[in-house]
Amino acid sequence: MSASAIPTIETEKVKESKLPAIDFNNIPFGRTFSDHMFICEYFDGKWQTAKIQPYQPLEMSPACNVFHYGQAIFEGMKAYYKADESGVVLFRPEKNWERLNKSAVRMSMPEIPKELFMNGLQQLIQLDRDFIPKSAGSSLYIRPFMIGTEPFIGVKTSDRYLFMIIIGPVGPYYGEAISVLVYDTYIRATKGGYGNAKAAGNYAGTLYPVELARKQGYKDVLWLDGEHKKYVNEVGTMNIFFVVDGVLITPETDGAILEGITRDSIIQIAKSLGIPVEERVIAIDEIVAAHDNGTLTEMFGTGTAAVVNPVNRFGYKGKDYLLDETKYTISARIKEQLVGIQKCTIEDTFGWVVEL
């Protein structure tokens, strides 16, 4: 991104930074935010002047669309310090802009011009650059989001919106191998719905079943398809991958599954390493059979927040299936490449990394 392309965004700086209060050696995921936030209002059919201002609560009418009918979409991105600390990079930011606009179209919200998204992102991160952690495994998490703000208690597309970006230092999302419950009752999404949109409702609807799964000792849920409850979809927080007989397999994107940017990167990296990859329909019964005959050797999730996270146990129809994540070699190799590209220790032959 060249500095000359940046239009003016009104900026109001904090009087006192919260940086001294942050313990960079102990950063929980998603609880610490930087000094400033980016905010831009949409009304009268257009995006208004954008601002960067001190991070603060919003004042909104209780009648706003978002509280009643849930027009709310978001993205997850990260900025990284290069391993040699010579600069800061973003990973495939255009893909997040594209996906945010795809979500916007599906949820009947206005699209965000590329310049507004990229310049807001760049200027906010530049201003709060000191919040980017340097240690391995940590990064600056970036949360762009848009909500419907028209104060009207009737079901219709809002005519007012807020597009905002908040950022904060994060450590690992899970930080260890996780267990997942495979439901044959609750579902997350179905074809023709909006499972592939990064819409708040997709997450809200999973909270209760995930809580039930936690009470049964699982960390998260591996969702099956909504129609047959037979085919593997995703983990809500992550896309899912398996290694069966040395082949990396993942469900094909069918409109019900989030089109993960990390998912796409993993597939491209695997192919470049000569690992056979299949994107296709995967029955849970096939995974159970592969576990039982010993050909299922790895199971892992991928996402911006989770990066590449091993799954070492899944429960299905009252039975548990165990895997040994310490023996995962293919996902470890792919993760090493991904993180190496993001931290600029491995040459980025894909053109994914964008200098800030």
CB of 237 to ligand COI, least distance (A): 4
- Vertex 215 angle, CA 213 and 219, to 5°: 50
Of 34-42, 124-132, 302-310, 334-342, the segment contacting ligand COI by CB under 6 A is: 302-310
Closest CA to 138 of 101, 104, 163, 175: 175
Question: What distance in Å separates the CA atoms of residue 266 and residue 268, rounded to the nearest whole number?
Answer: 5
Q: Report which DSSP code applies to 62.
A: T
Listed in sequence order, the residues at least 6 apart from 291 whose beta carbon sits closer than 8 Å to its beta carbon are 321, 323
When asked if residue 304 is in the footprint of ligand COI (CB under 6 A), the reply is yes
When asked if residue 76 is in the footprint of ligand COI (CB under 6 A), the reply is yes
Q: Which is nearer to ligand COI, 251 or 260 (CB)?
A: 260
Closest CA to 221 of 180, 179, 178: 180
Of 5-13, 266-274, 298-306, 328-336, the segment contacting ligand COI by CB under 6 A is: 298-306
Query: Which amino acid is located at 329 in the chain?
Result: T
Positions 211 through 240 that interact with ligand COI (CB under 6 A): 237
Among 133, 195, 303, 310, binds ligand COI (CB under 6 A): 303
Q: Which is nearer to ligand COI, 283 or 354 (CB)?
A: 354
When asked if residue 93 is in the footprint of ligand COI (CB under 6 A), the reply is no
Helix, strand, or coil here: 334? helix
Question: What distance in Å separates the CA atoms of residue 209 and residue 120, rounded to the nearest whole number?
Answer: 36
CB of 309 to ligand COI, least distance (A): 10
Closest CA to 216 of 253, 185, 172, 245: 185
Draw the binding track, 126-165, toward ligand COI (x: CB under 6 A; -: no contact): ----------------------------------------
Tokens of 164: 């905002």
Q: Which is nearer to ligand COI, 118 or 305 (CB)?
A: 305
Draw the binding track, 10-49, toward ligand COI (x: CB under 6 A; -: no contact): ----------------------------------------
20: left (phi over 0), alpha (psi -120 to 50) or beta: alpha
Kindly compute the dihedral angle of the four CA atoms of residues 25, 30, 36, 42, in this order, to the nearest 10 degrees: 160
- Bridge partner residues of 251 (DSSP): 280
Of 57-65, 212-220, 286-294, 301-309, the segment contacting ligand COI by CB under 6 A is: 301-309
CB of 199 to ligand COI, least distance (A): 11
Interacting residue ranges for ligand COI, rule: CB under 6 A: 76, 237, 303-305
